[in-house]
């Protein structure tokens, strides 16, 4: 638990289930039960201890602060990859989720951790482009949204088999502030032949994902990819 006045730099992971509000109460309960299960399984397979995460339920998902010192590349690459695999298992109910991540400063507050890292992660999770990416990619169960700093620090160097080409830039203004990040549908790691075709299709839809980006930012993103 973070104390007031204690400053740490940590990774924030936010998760949201698609279409949760359209479900009945019993269906919602079943979805939350399966979500907890798949998140736990994905973390174990990625060799992460979810019992050490500071987690807060959002009703249709959760926001978690990981312990300072966590290998961020393991979370971005392996946790997301394992989550995509878990969600593809033939189990019910089917889940499709958005996951966002950002690393930044946090301190303790009266109701739990507070800080800009939480704000950024939650804003990225709720961007229209992230929602569109999941809605448009009906064959995928997960869309990952990461901040621009995470992309530059973790994805561009290709830690743990990450593929920059699988990510597309986004830029969106929310409540007078501009948020920039990158979106990946499915696993952000290595590709299979089927996934390569999907990457090509996603690249063809870049105009949708890049709405709101200035020309210079698109050029920079293409160079980084």
Task: Catalogue all structural domains in the chain, each as residue range(s) with its CATH number.
Answer: 8-224 (3.30.70.1230)
- Burial letters 155-170, b for 16+ CB under 10 A, else e: beeebbebbbebbbbb
E-only strand ranges, the chain: 8-17, 54-57, 61-65, 97-109, 112-114, 142-147, 168-174, 177-185
The DSSP secondary-structure symbol of 73 reads H
What's the pTM value of the predicted model, to 2 decimals? 0.82
Which of 223, 210, 198, 131 lies closest to 170, judged by CA?
210
pLDDT for res 190: 65
CA distances (Å), origin 93, targets 26, 27, 66, 149, 225: 11, 8, 27, 34, 35
- Contact status, residue 2 vs residue 113, Cβ threshold 8 Å: yes
Q: Cα(66)–Cα(51) distance, rounded to whole angstroms?
A: 10
The pLDDT of residue 199 is 41
pLDDT in tens, the chain (225 residues): 688 888 999 999 999 999 888 889 999 999 999 999 999 999 999 999 999 999 999 888 999 999 999 999 999 999 999 999 999 988 888 899 999 999 999 999 888 899 999 999 999 999 999 999 999 998 899 999 999 999 999 999 999 999 999 999 999 998 889 999 999 999 998 654 444 454 444 434 333 344 333 333 333 333 333
């Amino acid at each position: 638990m973070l104390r007031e006045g204690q400053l740490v730099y940590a990774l924030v992971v936010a998760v949201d289930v698609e279409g949760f509000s359209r479900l009945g109460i019993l269906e919602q309960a079943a979805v939350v039960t399966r979500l907890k299960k798949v998140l736990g399984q994905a973390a174990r397979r990625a060799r992460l201890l979810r019992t050490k995460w500071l987690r807060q339920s959002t009703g249709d998902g959760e926001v978690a602060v990981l312990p300072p010192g966590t290998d961020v590349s393991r979370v971005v690459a392996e946790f997301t990859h394992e989550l995509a695999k878990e969600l593809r298992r033939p189990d019910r109910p089917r889940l499709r989720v958005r996951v966002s991540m950002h690393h930044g400063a946090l301190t303790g507050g009266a109701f739990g951790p507070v800080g800009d890292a939480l704000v950024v992660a939650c804003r990225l999770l709720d961007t229209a482009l992230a929602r569109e990416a999941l809605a448009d990619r009906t064959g995928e169960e997960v869309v990952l949204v990461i901040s621009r700093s995470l992309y530059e620090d973790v994805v561009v160097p290709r830690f743990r088999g990450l593929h920059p080409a699988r990510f597309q830039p986004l830029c969106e203004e929310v409540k007078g502030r501009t948020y920039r990040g990158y979106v990946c549908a499915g696993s952000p790691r290595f590709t299979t032949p089927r996934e390569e075709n999907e990457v090509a299709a996603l690249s063809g839809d870049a105009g949708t994902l890049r709405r709101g980006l200035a020309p210079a930012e698109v050029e920079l993103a293409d160079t980084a990819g």
